[in-house]
Amino acid sequence: MLLSGSPAVTLAVHQGIGTIRLDAPPLNVLDDRGRDELRRVVEQAAERPDVKAVILYGGRNKFSAGVEVRQFATLTYSEMLPYALRIQETFTAVAEMPKPVVAAITGFAVGGGCELALTADHRVCAANARIGLPETTLGVIPGAGGTQRLSRLIGVSPAKEMIYTGAVLSASRAKEIGLVDVVVPAGEVLATATTWAARFTGHDRHARGDASRIRLRAREEGGN
């Protein structure tokens, strides 16, 4: 359990790479505090000139279980809307980061954790990890932009199948359908993500910004 006063999300910068670490054991659930800290850290990474690329990382054994969706089961739409809007805004801030972002997925990335991974430009996944959107099995739907991002990434039909069934996929299956880009042994996830991010640390910041705008335009028009 997260100790009072301990940060749920941190930013560490080394050699041009900013690692955004989710640190809210045992599941890295993004509650109100975690969501707000993630937004703050993402904004810091976007603004800092010494950060050239970003890694999203939840630790050696887990990425994130997202939000505690069971809390929404008894809420009305009007009660749930403010929270949904805030988490959408936070994840959009990641997706619109003017720097390359890689998700280093270990253990599990489910629900909002999967939606967070979908905001990245590249996904490195541990061979023993699981990833998916099980919200429908709990009586709610993905609410942080994951339905749209998933459809753009893997196609409408496969995305519908995942969302309707609430399937949680193995790393190998996720790789087959294009949900993740690279599958590596669990102990190599962070190193592999770091190698990917390091490719961009020498790039001109204006060129990175232009590339990010092209990337966002492609996403809006239905690309990946």
Cα distance between residue 95 and residue 119, in whole Å:
5
For the record, the structure tokens of 145 come out as 């932009």
Per-residue CA distances from 36 to 48, 54, 100 (Å): 18, 18, 22
Catalytic residue flag (residue 135):
yes
- For the chain, count helices (H), then strands (E): 8, 9
Dihedral Cα 104, 88, 130, 147, nearest 10 deg = -120
Q: Indicate which residue of 47, 135, 176, 220 is catalytic.
A: 135
Cα distance between residue 54 and residue 19, in whole Å:
6
How close are the terminal C-alpha atoms of the chain, in Å?
36
Q: Indicate which residue of 37, 43, 79, 115 is catalytic.
A: 115
Cα distance between residue 84 and residue 90, in whole Å:
10
Q: Go through 36-50 and write b for each residue having 16 or more CB atoms within 10 A of its CB, e for each that does not.
A: ebbbebbeebbeeee
Cα distance between residue 6 and residue 184, in whole Å:
31
Q: Which residues are catalytic?
A: 115, 135
